[in-house]
Amino acid sequence: MLKFWKQLNILYERLLLIVLCLIFGIVLWCMYDNWYVYSYTLDDRVRKYKPGTSGAVASEDSPILDDMAAWITIDGTNIDYPVMQGTDNVRYLNTNPFGEYALSGSIYLDCRSSKDFSDPYSLVYGHHMEYGKMFGALDDFLNPSYLAHHKTGTLIIGKNAAATYPLEVFAAMCVSSDNNLVFNPEQNGIREYIAEQTGYPVQTRGENIIALSTCAEGGSSARIIVFCFILN
């Protein structure tokens, strides 16, 4: 009987060791996965292809796909990326501007919007990444003080920098992902909605509007939206 209990105790210790090793392995994998996603988020590797800047690679030599609609920069943030546009809103969800698979995906323009941003209202999406990567900086704009000090940006149209427009950030809000006004670039009621929600007199401005959208938090249906005027 004593031998039996000794063997059972040995088996228990081995099983416990296996479980601890599995837990340790899962922790290591999660750490590696977070490092991998963060490391392969677009950064300076793509910014050397920014059109219209000194030292930029010529558009015909750029490895960025011709689906690039624009390049967006919001001053004082990490937002400085190409804006892609696919034939649907899934193409660039997990594909980078070079056409490679990437969990961080790309910043991309809604497939229903005009590629030259000539529509009265354009909608742009991006993943909410840590450390302000991709559109991870948008939640800061929910703070009125932060928004007041980060109101400028630039929109460069096309790989050939066909046109460049200043951006003016003017409002930010958190909405549900099923909001039919915010997430429908083909409707005409967005100005009234923004004015109602923020008190900003949007109707007095004639410029086109671009909305930047990202997830509010993991697993949530909430979305953070930052609104900008495209200045002529």
What does the domain layout of the chain look like in residue ranges? 1-39, 46-230
| 185 φψ region: left (φ > 0), alpha (ψ -120 to 50), beta (else) | alpha
The reported pTM is 0.81
- Specify whether domain 46-230 bears CATH 3.40.640.10: no
Q: Average model confidence (pLDDT) for the chain?
A: 85
For 29-60, the pLDDT digits (tens) are 444 344 444 444 555 678 889 998 876 777 88
Higher pLDDT, 215 or 55: 215
Sort 218 into a burial class: Cβ within 10 Å, 0-12 / 13-18 / 19+.
exposed
Mean pLDDT score, 194-210: 91
Q: 142 by DSSP, 3-state: which?
A: helix
Give residue 143's pLDDT: 96
pLDDT at residue 62 is higher than 70: yes
Task: Please state, in angstroms and rounded to a whole number, the distance separating the CA atoms of residues 207 and 210.
Answer: 10
pLDDT at residue 13 is higher than 70: no
Give residue 124's pLDDT: 98
H or E stretch at 42: none
- Give percent above pLDDT 70 in the chain: 81
Two tokens at 55?
Answer: 């030292």
CB atoms inside a 10 Å sphere around CB 189: 12
For 87-103, the pLDDT digits (tens) are 999 999 999 999 988 88
